[in-house]
Chains A and B, each alone.
Chain A
Amino acid sequence: MTKSDLIEAVAQKSNLTKDKAASVVNQIFEQMVDAMKKGDRIEIRNFGNFTVRKYPAYTGRNPKTGDAVAVGPKKMPFFKVGLELKNRVDGKK
């Protein structure tokens, strides 16, 4: 399922036009991206939590040449699946 498939499914279930469903779906993901940009944690009950993890700088290696490469500190989004969705995906319940 892509974002456009999701928009189509939402349009059908809500009786909205595709344009309106698209603005709702886009708004939701934009809000989540904005929250993560601020370093906020996102909690969607029964779905999961998104957090931003900070990683310190480290010296990595180019796997091809073996050369040392300095990797700067970075932030990475992390998703932890919620209990309900975890069970549904695993076919329990």
Chain B
Amino acid sequence: MTKADIIEKVYDKLGGYSKREAADLVEIVFETLKETLSRQEKVKISGFGNFVVREKKARMGRNPQTKQPIEITARRVLTFKPSQVLKHTLNG
């Protein structure tokens, strides 16, 4: 499933929107999620899961090809924690 499929479904199932409008709406939803997460704010979607930005400290790693030790810099990463409901749905 791609974004185009989601747009198609919004267009089909909701009605009242042109394809262009459906595309704009889906875009607004994902753009809003991205903006929120870019501010390091967590997003909680009940029945789906939580998107959380986590701070990672710098640590030592090594280049697996050259075996040279290198520092992995401190960074922020996005993690997704699926909701219990979603986990149960997939295993129902």
Contacts and interface: CB of A to CB of B under 8 A. Distances in A.
Given A6-B45, A44-B2, A27 B87 contact: no
Contact of B2 (A9, A43, A81): A43
Interface residues of B, number: 45
Given A6-B45, A77-B82, A89 B37 contact: yes
A2 B25 CA distance: 18
Q: Which of B1, B3, B14, B38 is the most central at the interface, judged by chain A CB atoms within 10 Å of its CB?
A: B1
Interface of B: 1-3, 5-6, 9-10, 13-14, 24-26, 28-30, 32-34, 36-38, 40-49, 51, 53, 75-80, 82, 86-87, 89-91
Given A31-B5, A31-B10, A48-B78, 12 more contacts: A3-B45, A10-B29, A24-B26, A31-B9, A33-B48, A47-B30, A47-B33, A50-B80, A75-B90, A77-B90, A79-B80, A90-B77
